[in-house]
Amino acid sequence: MKLGQATIKDIAKELNVSSSTVSRALKDYPGISDETKRKVKELAEKLNYRPNAIALSLRKSRSYTIGVIIPEVVHFFFSTVISGIEEVAYSRGYNVILSQTNEKIGREKSSIETMLSNQIDGFMVSYSKETENFDHFTRLLDQGFPIIFFDRSTDIPNAINIMVDDYKGAFDAVSHLIEQGYQKIVHLAGPKNLKISKERERGYRDALKNYGMEIQEEYIVECPVGSDEESKEITTNLLTTLPEKPDAFFANNDMAAVGAMAAAKSLGFKIPEQIGIVGFSNWQFCSMVDPSLSSVSQPGFRMGARATDMLLDIIEKKLDPQKITEPITLDTQLLIRNSSLRIKS
């Protein structure tokens, strides 16, 4: 803050009282004469007094600030989560301090250090793709420091995880494709080390099993990057080389789904008549591509809001983290659009 910001001392000096009196008057403590209160408040108003939150933090060892560690800000799902976080934090009087890791563990660790230095009251974390060792988190959790992991969950004992029900989302999507009569369904899978990828793959497998269909391992293809270009290349390859041509794609994310769509179209396939496609995440563009892309929508805002409410409850001791033993899962919703709807009922 610039010079010239009035402090309690300034008010005290000007009114010839002690700073404790001013402090008490401002907070309507009992045992201060109405007269003094009035004078203090009047002058505070006049001087545009604003309490110094930093001094307060130092004194209380509480900053009313939570730290958000996120892989990328420019990402539809994550920005939606941030929005939910910010909304709840604001309404409960907390600040949000934000850092993106760009999927780098080094940056993740250093951001955590900085935030701890800044005495934040708790963390909301979606860890980076590079993170395989979780010691920097367990250490904090063991100290009793509040952390909530969102979207990307961990196996750390006692950690609180909140995520989307990826398994069920995938299960629903693939079941839908089967019900639409698709037989050879490829899964464009995500990075193997992320739990969400594994869960989605599990949903894919179980849906097939559930309908008595065989699982062919060559139909499960990893798309490590997750971009549309990558997927277009992979999909073109599959459609031209596999002995039994696939007739549907269930993608781990919407970008990959769009890549598959582009590949199929440029090879002359009709969508959804010959090839069906379903993505995951329900990004904004799903309704804008042609044909519109069916997708599994994830409740990002709700996830951010819910997680923040829990974190603040823990910080404020309204909730005992020990009591939360199960991961919290939020329901997804399958949005059926034209890319997978060939049986009009």
- Residue numbers at the binding site for a copy of itself (CB under 8 A): 1-2, 4, 50-55, 57-58, 61, 63, 65, 72-76, 79-80, 82-83, 86-87, 90, 95-100, 107, 111, 113-119, 143-145, 228, 255, 258, 262, 265, 283-285, 287-290
Q: Is residue 71 within 8 Å of 128, Cβ to Cβ?
A: yes
- Dihedral, 267, 268, 274, 280 alpha carbons, nearest 10: 50
The tokens describing 67, both together, are 């730290």
Residue with tokens 């829990």, as numbered in its chain: 310
Q: Which is nearer to DNA, 25 or 148 (by Cβ)?
A: 25
Q: Which is nearer to a copy of itself, 172 or 309 (by Cβ)?
A: 309
Q: Interface with DNA includes 16 (CB under 7 A)?
A: yes
Part of the chain binding DNA (CB under 7 A), chosen from 56-64, 142-150, 315-323, 335-343? 56-64
Burial class (CB in 10 A: 0-12, 13-18, 19+), 263: buried
Q: For residue 296, list its beta bridge partners.
A: 280, 334
Q: What is the DSSP letter of 250?
A: E
Q: Which is nearer to a copy of itself, 1 or 16 (by Cβ)?
A: 1
Coil, helix or strand at residue 294: strand
CB atoms within 10 A of CB 229: 11
Using CA atoms, how far apart are residues 50 and 243, in angstroms rounded to an integer? 73
Q: How far is the CB of 152 from a copy of itself (least distance, A)?
A: 19
Q: Interface with DNA includes 61 (CB under 7 A)?
A: yes
Q: Interface with DNA includes 58 (CB under 7 A)?
A: yes
Residues 126-185 that bind DNA (CB under 7 A): none
Q: Interface with DNA includes 322 (CB under 7 A)?
A: no
Using CA atoms, how far apart are residues 333 and 57, in angstroms rounded to an integer? 42
Q: Interface with DNA includes 32 (CB under 7 A)?
A: yes
What sign does the CA torsion over 288, 293, 294, 297 have? negative
Q: Interface with DNA includes 26 (CB under 7 A)?
A: yes
Part of the chain binding DNA (CB under 7 A), chosen from 4-12, 188-196, 231-239, 307-315? 4-12
CB atoms within 10 A of CB 56: 12
Which of the listed partners (a copy of itself, DNA, none) does 313 bind, with a CB threshold of 5 to 8 Å by partner kind?
A: none
Q: Which is nearer to a copy of itself, 36 or 236 (by Cβ)?
A: 236
Q: Interface with DNA includes 31 (CB under 7 A)?
A: yes
Q: Count interface residues toward DNA (CB under 7 A).
A: 27
Q: What is the 3-state secondary structure (H, E, C) of 32-51?
A: CCHHHHHHHHHHHHHCCCCC
Q: Interface with DNA includes 28 (CB under 7 A)?
A: no
Nearest to 124 by CA among 135, 111, 133, 105: 111
Q: Which is nearer to a copy of itself, 145 or 194 (by Cβ)?
A: 145
Q: Interface with DNA includes 120 (CB under 7 A)?
A: no
Q: Interface with DNA includes 55 (CB under 7 A)?
A: yes
Using CA atoms, how far apart are residues 110 and 22, in angstroms rounded to an integer? 40
Which of the listed partners (a copy of itself, DNA, none) does 114 bind, with a CB threshold of 5 to 8 Å by partner kind?
A: a copy of itself
Residue with tokens 């080390």, as numbered in its chain: 193
Using CA atoms, how far apart are residues 68 and 149, in angstroms rounded to an integer? 10
* Positions that interact with DNA (CB under 7 A): 5, 7-9, 16-21, 23-24, 26-27, 30-33, 35-36, 51-52, 55-56, 58-59, 61
